[in-house]
Amino acid sequence: MPDISLGDISLHVVDRGRGQSLLLVHGFPLDHSMWQRQIDELAADFRVIAPDLRGFGQSGVTAGTVTMEQMADDLAGMLDSLGVAEPVALCGLSMGGYVGWQFALRYRNRLAKLIQCDTRAVADSPEAAAGRLKTAERVLVDGAQVVAESMLGKLFAEATARQQPAVVEATRQVMLRTAPVGIAAALRGMSERPDVSGRLAEFDMPALIVCGEHDAIAAPAEMRGIAEQMPQAKFALINDAGHMAPLEQPAAVNAEIRAFLAS
Ligand code: MLT
């Protein structure tokens, strides 16, 4: 798949299948490969578009701060380059969900449906934001292992860690391959992301809110509350999964996505 040039950077993107476009937006500090089971199984029925966001995977890296708004703009530019004119279904996980909120606010007419997995609507608290800025500095000095070590234990349900160690190890390897400059830029961007918790009624498109029952970062009760405040949202709890529900329980998540896209 050729990379997409966006002027200041290029984005690596997997683009497979035909039909309704399903845009998959990965979490932090990962890349499109976290969606491999969705790409493999859903590309039979949909055009599945799974980019590496700016600073991640095989995409270009920019220093400083990369905001969620910038990433949303990158996605719109990428869709233009791919010739996708019709509204897409966007499915984001965690940081990909933060980008999803911004895409919905900035490009409402390009969005047919929104799927938000294991993500939050609130902004960082001042303490959390300060912690992210400190981590950004540490990553630049000590490398990607700083976030791999601090995050990996929080991402997966205990059963996943026990029964699917290869999934956990593959995720660690993706993190370790990620450019420290890209990690730091996204940490700064997440630290200043807008709070959309008071604006959930504005996300009036059909929506599916997906959450792993053991998610330690975006708790099920919080995500159920998000769904309740959105005019057209359905909540789906994924059993035996943590924060990485699509990776941990792909069959269950894919079934939810399929049913939602068919509705
Ligand atoms: C993610 O999975 O993308 C992160 O947990 C997002 C975050 O750090 O807030």
Cβ of residue 95 lying under 6 Å from some atom of ligand 1: yes
Tell which atom from ligand 1 comes closest to the C-alpha of 118: 2
Between the CA of 28 and the centroid of ligand 1 the distance, in Å, is 5
Instruction: Residue 255: give the domain boundaries.
Output: 3-262
Which token pair is 198?
């008071």
Tell which atom from ligand 1 comes closest to the C-alpha of 120: 9
Instruction: Name the residue of 217, 223, 248 to mutate for ligand 1: max ligand atoms within 8 A of Cβ.
Output: 217
What's residue 57's pLDDT? 98
From first to last of its 263 residues, the chain has per-residue pLDDT tens of 669 999 899 999 999 999 999 999 999 999 999 999 999 999 999 999 999 999 999 999 999 999 999 999 999 999 999 999 999 999 999 999 999 999 999 999 999 999 999 999 999 999 999 999 999 999 999 999 999 999 999 999 999 999 999 999 999 999 999 999 999 999 999 999 999 999 999 999 999 999 999 999 999 999 999 999 999 999 999 999 999 999 999 999 999 999 999 99
Q: How many CB atoms lie under 10 A from the CB of residue 152?
A: 15
Q: How many domains does the chain have?
A: 1
DSSP string, the chain: -PPEE-SS-EE-EEEE--SSEEEEE--TT--GGGGHHHHHHHTTTSEEEEEPPTTSTTS----S---HHHHHHHHHHHHHHHT--SPEEEEEETHHHHHHHHHHHH-GGGEEEEEEES--SSPPPHHHHHHHHHHHHHHHHH-THHHHHHHHHHHS-HHHHHH-HHHHHHHHHHHHHS-HHHHHHHHHHHHTPPP-TT-GGG--S-EEEEEETT-SSS-HHHHHHHHHHSTTEEEEEETT--TTHHHHSHHHHHHHHHHHHH-
- Strands 13-16 and 47-51, bridge-based pairing: antiparallel
Q: Domain holding 7: CATH number? A: 3.40.50.1820
- Distance of alpha carbon 81 from alpha carbon 203, whole angstroms: 26
Q: Is the pTM of this model over 0.75?
A: yes
Rounded to whole angstroms, the maximal C-alpha distance in the chain is 49
- Distance of alpha carbon 27 from alpha carbon 145, whole angstroms: 17
Which residues on neighbouring strands pair with residue 92, listed in sequence order? 25, 116
Which token pair is 181?
């400059």
- Distance of alpha carbon 115 from alpha carbon 104, whole angstroms: 11
Cβ of residue 190 lying under 6 Å from some atom of ligand 1: yes
What's residue 1's pLDDT? 61
